[in-house]
Structure 1
Amino acid sequence: MLANVSETAQEEVNAPQGHKYERAYPASPAADLTDLDLFAKGQPFDAFARMREAAPVCWHEEAEGAGFWALTGYHDVRATELDTKSFSSQKGGILMNYGHADARHPLLHRASLDAMINLDQPYHFPLRREHMPFFTPAYVSDLRKRVDTKVTSLLDAMEARARETGKPLDMVEMFSAELPLFTLCEILGVEEADRPKLIKWMHYLEVSADTMRKGEALDPQFFGDFVQNVLEMFEFGKRVLYDRRSNPKPDLLSAIANAKVDGELLSDEMLDGSWLLIVFAGNDTTRNSLSGTMKLLTEFPEQKQKLIEDPSRITNMVHEAIRMVSPVIYMRRTAAEDAEINGQKIAEGEKVVMYYGAANRDPSVFADPDRFDVERANAKDHLAFGMGPHVCLGQRVANMQLESAYRQILARFPDVEWTGDIDIAPNNFVHAISRLGIDLGVKS
């Protein structure tokens, strides 16, 4: 029988403190990877490179936690993803250092554990299987028609605003937050009138760790709004999922609501976790990839010109952009038994954190890895979507949205560019671009 992960997970309070075996790589971390503010400046790719060179399996202390092994090499991350026998998602959850109980939102914390992404076999695949029909090539191909229409509509609105004001636009507000929301809601079956709520909830989810970290030091009004919106998000999800049990429709919400593991419907806690996972994973990563790609095209104008001259290159560009952006910064695993990674012995119960952005810029796999190359032959080999049983179910949908978006953007606005204006939320789990100024290159 499937128990709630939150009831069984081995968390920091029970985990071994420090590491059991001698460090094979004695170098210290090149940056404090638990510092949320560090990631508000972008991912620390220089620090990742130094760690990959000096200590690819690097012991990292935590101020509030047992510490973890940081993996920055491509082959180490890939091997760990594939070794689900030695490295468990379910024993400790996939997020780094949940912190003490008084420094986290109890409902968000519980729901973040009680989700498919944290399950090992034999429980993971039966639940994943219920999601699969909504991510097949045929389904995504049909979905693309609606996405193409939505992209056109969003660009029409952006052009009208740009001509009216003659000022730069916030791409996140007018495009990057809107397109993934539309696509996700089409898959889920969320009613049109309810869709704007998800954008608001996403804002609070992206700053949740920072909000709980600062707590009473924050503006009381914002903190109150945060707590209220998180509650509203879960109440809405549970209400809709319960309705789908009574009135199923041909949508993903119905599949989740009626999924069974070991012959039983999901618990209320697992419904909360499923709702949180699909809202966050299905929305946030694509949003940040869309914005991050615009930044890359401006930083590498010669690559942008190649796409304008030959739009057929956009398909490969999407893989290269996702490699460079790496919107999910890390996933964590707990050693289910004594294991070894690249010469480093890992004891049972110790935590391992896989840094995808670091792996995706490993020069042993990607030549000149910090260069955006739309013709890179092995761009598709990136690990931004993970690998193995937990590989991202929505990767086809994400790729499709980026391709649809940039085919139209570059065709309509060849002079579009990032203005240099950017805000990144303090979040070390996802590269969360909350504002990105762009100039469409049209005249008022």
Structure 2
Amino acid sequence: MDDGSIDIQRAAREAAYSMPIEEIDPSNPELFRTDTWHPYFERLRKENPVHWATSPEEQVGGYWSITKYNDIMAVDTNHQVFSSIPTIVLPDPDEDFTLPMFIAMDPPKHDEQRKTVSPIVAPPNLARLEPVIRERAAKILDDLPIGEEIDWVDKVSIELTTMTLATLFDFPWEDRRKLTFWSDVATAAPESGILGTTDPEEFEQKRRMALFECVDYFQRLWDERSKAAPGPDLISMLAHGESTKNMDRMEYLGNLILLIVGGNDTTRNTISGSIYALNQNPEQDRILRANPSMIPNMVSETIRWQTPLAYMRRRALQDIEIGGKKIKEGDKVAMWYISGNRDEEVIERPNDYWIERPNPRRHISFGFGIHRCVGNRLAELQLKIIWEEILKRFPRIEVVGQPKRIYSSFVHGYEHLPVVIPTRN
């Protein structure tokens, strides 16, 4: 960490501990863009682990922040009281642009729709996918220039995950980067500049246009596959599934966005995070390279340390007490996975990146209960394969500049990560 980064972190800690605690708003995306979120959550865990926050963003308003591991578990495993409807993010959806998706549904509809797509990530299908992912990972790495600066996010993380996602959808190969674009658009803020404007109204108009282009494109695939025999890809599964074959356009779009973001954003940010974490912790890099059997541990530790989705939202269906606070019916609740993964009372050495950690799978990044990430094993598989292939090829990968982080309190990840693969001595 350079001197500038140390000064930023020192200033963030001073700000987090000097402001009135009721003024802390963990949903401020700037905390994540600048990587200064740590002390705010540390203070909340210590002083007010079930915390009422108010966002200046009108569509967010007031909400409860749940910041400790066991309290998050209590909320996440109690879908009878804490509903996912109408959305999993803090901003309320616009009434004229609501996107139903199974992660933002309650049983029984949630269970029926999730069951329709879950075979795609069942162990037999993952076994069939593994050699395909490995071949692609090998080619991506073999094509990287040696001794030149590259953007790891674009050249490796996005490319591998987008290839995998295109395979799951049986999506036209030449158009696969459309999946990346739609994923980014679905979760981006106007400040990202991804659509050429930072004006909120113009951005939202362009975002909707892009997402309608997404559903129109996928509608053509749906029409083809609904007329054919059921196939092993996600679109065919949706088109032939009893609980999904009669979805309207907005519900189809909602589930597409769920599958695209879930299959793309999270894994690509964990792949990038692994490169950054091992550069920040060179002794861990040495341990990994000396003992490649540590890769599965490293994968789990990276998923904890990175926490690619910072939170999930729920809505209380009745009055309930959590951590001594009374949450009222209708209140919004944010389960901050990124904070639960740093809970000092549950996680040993929580702020260390430690690939020899005992029980490394004891993290909360995938959630728990009925909404636990359906693709968690596929995410782990991609990260495992890319590192097995990296260790065969490159003695080092050097981060040569500060990462550019995503302006979002939901997707915790990287826009750019400059690296150089040094020439061999």
If the length of structure 2 is used for normalisation, what is the TM-score? Answer: 0.88
| 2: CA distance, partners of 1:321 / 1:218 | 35
Checking the alignment, whether the CA contact within 8 Å between 1:115 and 1:274 is kept in structure 2 is yes
From 287, 295, 298, the counterpart of 1:306: 287
C-alpha separation in 2, matches of 1:201 and 1:386? 24
**Deviation by residue 1:273-320 (Cα, 9 ceiling, x = unmatched):** 111111111100001000011100001111111110110001111000
Q: Which residue does the alignment assign to 2:217? A: 236
Q: CA deviation at 1:58?
A: 0.3
Identity %: 32
Residues in 1 aligned to 2:259 and 2:391: alpha-carbon distance in whole angstroms: 30
Q: Deviations over 1:158-216 (max 9, x none)?
A: 1xx23xxx421100110000111111111121121221221233333342454699997
CA offsets per residue over residues 80-106 of structure 1, 9 Å max, x none? 00011110112x3211023777xxxx5
Alpha-carbon distance change, 83 to 225 in structure 1, aligned in 2, over 3 angstroms: closer
Q: 1:417 aligns with which of 398, 402, 405?
A: 398
Residue 140 of structure 1 aligns to which amino acid in structure 2? L
Once the two structures are superposed, the pairs formed by residues 34-113 of structure 1 within 5 Å of their partners are 34-42=27-35, 44-63=37-56, 64=58, 65-90=60-85, 92-98=86-92, 107=97, 110-111=98-99
For residues 45 and 370 of structure 1, do their structure 2 counterparts lie closer, same or farther at Cα, with a shift above 3 Å needed? same
**Structure 1 residue 169 corresponds to structure 2 residue 164:** no
**What is the distance in 2 between the residues matched to 1:305 and 1:401?**
22
1:123 to 109, 119, 142: 109
Is the CA contact (8 Å cut-off) linking 2:316 and 2:332 kept in structure 1? yes
Q: Which residue does 1:6 correspond to in 2?
A: none
Residues 211-254 of structure 1: CA distance to partner in whole angstroms, max 9, x if unpaired? Answer: 69999754999888655433322211222223222224221111
Q: 1:410: Cα distance to partner?
A: 2.6
Pairing 1:25-40 to 2, within 5 Å after superposition? 28-29=21-22, 31-40=24-33
Distance 2:353 2:200 in 1: 40
Match of 1:327 in 2: 308
Q: How does 1:11-22 map to 2 (within 5 A)?
A: none
Matches within 5 A, 1:271-350: 271-350=252-331
Q: Output aligned runs, 1:181-260, within 5 Å.
A: 181-208=162-189, 210=191, 217-218=198-199, 226=207, 228-247=209-228, 248-260=230-242
Give, in whole Å, the separation in 2 of the partners of 1:170 and 1:246: 42
SS at match of 1:332: strand
Alignment of 1:354-433 (within 5 A): 354-433=335-414
Deviates further, 125-134 or 42-51: 42-51
AA partner of residue 328 (structure 2): A
The answer to whether the 8 Å contact 2:65/2:334 transfers is yes
Cα distance in 1 between the residues matched to 2:253 and 2:122: 25
Shift of 1:137: 1.5
CA distance in 2, matches of 1:346, 1:220: 33
State which drifts further: 231-240 or 137-146: 231-240
Relative to the length of structure 1, the TM-score reads: 0.85
Moved more, 420-429 or 314-323: 420-429
Letter of the 2:28 partner, please give it. D
Unaligned segments of structure 2, at least 5 residues: 1-19
Residues in 2 aligned to 1:209 and 1:127: alpha-carbon distance in whole angstroms: 31
Rounded Cα–Cα distance in structure 1 between residues aligned with 2:227 and 2:247: 14
Do 2:225 and 2:239's aligned partners in 1 also have CA atoms closer than 8 Å?
A: yes
Displacement after TM superposition at 1:368 (Å): 1.1
Supply the distance in 1 between the matched residues of 2:180 and 2:295 (Cα, whole angstroms).
27
State the one-letter code of the partner of 2:105.
Answer: L
CA distance in 1, matches of 2:319, 2:204: 42
CA contact under 8 A between 1:422 and 1:433: conserved in structure 2? yes
Q: Answer whether contact 2:23 2:54 (CA < 8 A) is retained.
A: no
Runs of 5+ in structure 1 lacking a partner?
A: 1-26
Looking at structure 2, the residues matched to 323 and 353 of structure 1 have their Cα atoms a distance apart, in angstroms, of 18
Paired positions, count: 403
Aligned-residue RMSD, C-alpha: 2.5
Partner residue, 1:143: 129
2:356 partner amino acid: E
Do the aligned residues in 2 keep the contact of 1:209 with 1:427 (CA within 8 Å)?
Answer: no
Range with greater deviation from structure 2 (229-238 or 306-315): 229-238
Task: Decide whether aligned partners of structure 1 residues 332 and 226 sit closer, same or farther in structure 2, where only a CA change above 3 A counts.
Answer: closer
Aligned residue type for 2:132:
R
